[in-house]
A and B are shown apart, each in its own frame.
Chain A
Amino acid sequence: MSVALLEARGLGVTFRRGRRRVEALSEVGIAIGRGESVGIVGESGSGKTTLARVLLGLQEATAGDVLLEGRSIGDWLRRDRAAFRRRVQMVFQDPYGSLNPRLSIGSALAEVLRVHRLVHRGEEAAAVAELLRSVGLDSRYADRFPHEFSGGQRQRVGIARALATRPEVLIADEPVSALDVSVQAQVLNLLRDLQRERGLTLLLIAHDLAAVRYVCDRVVVMHEGRVVEAGESAQVLDRPVHPYTKGLLAAVPELGEFA
């Protein structure tokens, strides 16, 4: 059996609130192969964002381990932190919160390239232009500031920033939930194209089941910190087995009989 690119094994995270212990994650196991797109769905409090943070190494697990290419995340962060950060990147829900308002988009992207020593000084501008083009933005936008962009454009910038390190794994936490439907479609298409054309490994965290189905090969349903159901997207969403998944699907308002 080939080694999964990114794997969570028996992952647990417990937070302490005074004397109370809250289990945010419990015995979570997920294996993601190279080039796969996996959706994590669940409601608030299901642990999906905690899982993303642990996979990114932003939050330590209290049980189990995360493996990148079979190697423990602890080991990666001790010995090859920069390489880990390059290889596993993140797209946030609100790109406005993750972009420095006083830095032009070009400077923000160039900073990433510089920190990770990815290109020579003289090639920075060209690399930034290429990054902007790769997410469907005009390369002349490099001189603009975050507030000059629409929500959808800002999310494209957020994706460009993540792509700057040429990651293998992209973890996107609710990347379209703050956007209008018309714009959501564009960003979902972009993520889907990037994943398919570049062989990116994509982990899409979302509460929107239809969006996950559109982008992801597989889906993992979380509830109260546990994985309650997982499988091929079409199978899980058309023929759910777990009662929680069934309830979740029944609750989604659908165009259904219409259109």
Chain B
Amino acid sequence: MVSVVSRALLEVRDLTVQFGSGGRAVRVVDGVSFRVEAGEVVALVGESGSGKSVTALALARLLPEVSGRIGGGEILFEGADVCGFSPGALRRLRGGRIAYVFQEPMAALNPVFTIGFQIREVLRLHGGSGDREAELLRLLLAVGLSDAERVARSFPHELSGGMQQRAVIAMALAGRPRLLVADEPTTALDVTVQAQVLEVLLGVQRAEGMGMLFITHNLGLVARVAQRVLVMYAGQIVEAGPTGSVLRSPRHPYTKALLRAVPRLRGGGERLEGIPGVVPAASSYPMGCRFHPRCAFARERCAVDVPQWEELEGGGGVRCHYWRACSGSGGGVAR
């Protein structure tokens, strides 16, 4: 068998994830393609229900087979398709080459074991043959837990939320991952703690040259962390590109609308534009462009024709019939 060679650390091609079966199957993720290079931070943004987290979980096939099935496409990680991995290969992959950090540290930590015990477990499963105690302390120090020995002996509830999330990051690093999937890793934290944890996360990402998929709904965070951004809506990527160009000159009306919905810390109090309506459920995606019922620029064709992905110069792309016509004019919101 000839394996497909891919230079990217992670390359997702036309990924589809289905929930349910038979006539009631719905596509929660529908034809998603993107790459993450080693050493690169890619942000995945969108409203709740857009399919961000399901995409993230699918990468290491963490979705329970009975509910969320990968319906098509490829997940090439270091050149090998994760969809074809044996159970043993998946066990080595999860928490090893691919590690996750989720929003709620207390949900990721076992309350009845010490932090040290839990990190040692990862080292035993995925770590090298080196001195585990030394490695444990090195990891805790690396995430800014300077009182490493005490933290190692602590139970999760004895730590603050910020320290818990640092411990979770240390645990994720214990398997020496090449790809870190961070799903809203700082959302549950206070803003000053959030800044510190972010610093730690980006620090280790750079030091280890890891690739990172950073999932967030916070566009301010995107500006701070990511080199590239993927905007997801109703199971599809609707815009992608370098962070600067997507935030400065968004092409897709949805991206424009998201940007206009965020109140600014500085500057005028011009009226915010929410986006009317909500993300449609996967069982009731509209015909044509999935965003058209909420889009200010929608024309007749948008309700009929499905917009195709269009590659743009300078990397990235957009999924909209009329992105050229919408460019430049402000506001992406139906009135």
Contacts and interface: CB of A to CB of B under 8 A. Distances in A.
Interface of A: 43-44, 150, 152, 180-186, 188-189, 207-211, 213-214, 237-238, 247-259
A199 B47 CA distance: 33
Given A43-B190, A181-B47, A252-B191, A152 B221 contact: no
A26 B243 CA distance: 44
B261 A209 contact: no
Interface of B: 47-48, 161, 190-195, 198, 217-221, 223-224, 243-244, 247-248, 250, 257-266, 269, 271-276, 278
Contact of A253 (B47, B220, B260, B274): B220
A189 B274 contact: yes
Given A186-B274, A207-B191, A254 B265 contact: yes
Contacts of B221: 253
B186 to A, nearest CB: 9
Contacts, number: 111
B31 to A, nearest CB: 23
A120 B221 CA distance: 51
Contacts of B218: 181, 253
Contacts of A182: 47, 257-258, 261, 274-275
Nearest to A208: B263
Given A253-B223, A253-B224, A254-B220, A210 B269 contact: no
B223 A189 contact: no
B223 A258 contact: yes
B262 A150 contact: no
A22 B32 CA distance: 51
Contacts of A252: 191, 220, 265
A205 to B, nearest CB: 14
Contacts of B193: 43
Given A247-B192, A253-B198, A254-B220, 8 more contacts: A181-B47, A181-B219, A182-B257, A184-B263, A208-B263, A214-B264, A256-B220, A258-B244
22 contacts: A43-B190, A181-B47, A181-B219, A182-B261, A185-B263, A207-B190, A207-B191, A208-B263, A210-B265, A211-B263, A247-B192, A251-B194, A252-B265, A253-B195, A253-B220, A253-B224, A254-B220, A255-B262, A256-B223, A257-B223, A259-B250, A259-B259
